[in-house]
Amino acid sequence: MEKVQIPVIRNILEAHERLAQENRRIFDKAKVFVINLMSSPGAGKTSLLEQTIRALSDQISVGVIEGDIQSSEDAERIQKTNVPVVQINTGGACHLDPSMIRSALDALDLSSIDLLIIENVGNLVCPAEFNLGEHRKIMILSVTEGDDKALKYPLMFRMSSVLLINKIDLLPYIDFDVEKIRKECKKLNPHQIIFEISCKTGRGISQWVKWLESELDQHYGEVNWW
């Protein structure tokens, strides 16, 4: 029994990885920089997208893929910012996988997009296990979730280039120790960059956008391409 199950599981994971690599080839050929935005439900992914698009969209072309189990609420919010958006409904799956992204690409004109942001399904666990072909994984932790989350759900913290600590406007009302989480993240992922932000007040957003601009700059070869 075991002898059968193990290779089957490995085959599925290998197939996902192959698809993720194919997606990456498509992104690189079209010269699109792609980020995979992950967090628990409600941490502020769509709010961050709205802020980021507002800050960047008159310099570069942004596109968005929205991942949710059900509904097109988030895609409708993004549509109001006038950037191309595709909604994926996973119909129950708690994360996006690379084949879903491949299908969504058919509905986007990659030749007119510089930065593609994928909002993953709200979930602090499974999204971190699947490469989608993105160039960077980015995660949000909101202060209302508690400062023990890096210890309890380490994988996403380990995999993400950037941690955005969101809803810092609520810090006066909540026992959340920013230094504690910074220290734990340093152990899990010494190269991770951490920004403290509030999508409500806009605090810290310019530092995040500056980081993103410098990543785009490096990706496109240090030229002033916008």
Ligand X SMILES: Nc1nc2c(ncn2[C@@H]2O[C@H](COP(=O)(O)OP(=O)(O)OP(=O)(O)O)[C@@H](O)[C@H]2O)c(=O)[nH]1
Binding site for ligand X (CB under 6 A): 39, 41-47, 74, 122, 166-167, 169-170, 198-200
Q: Which of these ranges, 66-74, 105-113, 145-153, 157-165, lies near Mg ion under the rule CB under 5 A? A: 66-74
The interface partner of residue 39, options being ligand X, Mg ion, none and the CB cut-off 5 to 8 Å by kind, is: ligand X
CB of 205 to ligand X, least distance (A): 10
The nearer residue to ligand X, 95 or 135, going by C-beta atoms, is: 95
For residues 3 and 35, what is the distance between their CA atoms, to the nearest angstrom?
A: 37
Which residue in this structure is represented by tokens 């971190």? Answer: 128
Give, as one character, the DSSP assignment of residue 186.
Answer: H
Nearer to ligand X, 19 or 138 (CB): 138
- What is the token pair recorded at 198? 């509030």
Candidate ranges 67-75, 92-100, 186-194, 206-214; the one touching Mg ion (CB under 5 A): 67-75
DSSP 125-178: SGGGG---S-SEEEEEEEGGG-TTHHHHSHHHHHH-SEEEEE-GGGGGGS---H
Nearest-10 crossing angle of helices 205-219, 45-56: 70
Kindly state the smallest distance separating residue 62's Cβ from ligand X, in Å.
Answer: 16
User: Binding mask 3-42 vs Mg ion (x if CB under 5 A, - otherwise)?
Assistant: ----------------------------------------
The one-letter amino acid code at 186 reads: K
Least separation, in Å, of the C-beta of 180 and Mg ion? 27
User: Least distance (Å) from ligand X to the CB of residue 135?
Assistant: 21
Place of tokens 């380990």: 158
Nearest distance from C-beta of residue 143 to Mg ion, angstroms: 18
147 binds Mg ion (CB under 5 A): no
Residue 112 has what DSSP assignment? G
Give CA–CA dist 78/65, Å, rounded: 10
Asked if residue 16 lies in contact with residue 98, where contact means CB atoms within 8 angstroms, the answer is: yes
Q: Which residues make up the interface to Mg ion (CB under 5 A)?
A: 45-46, 74
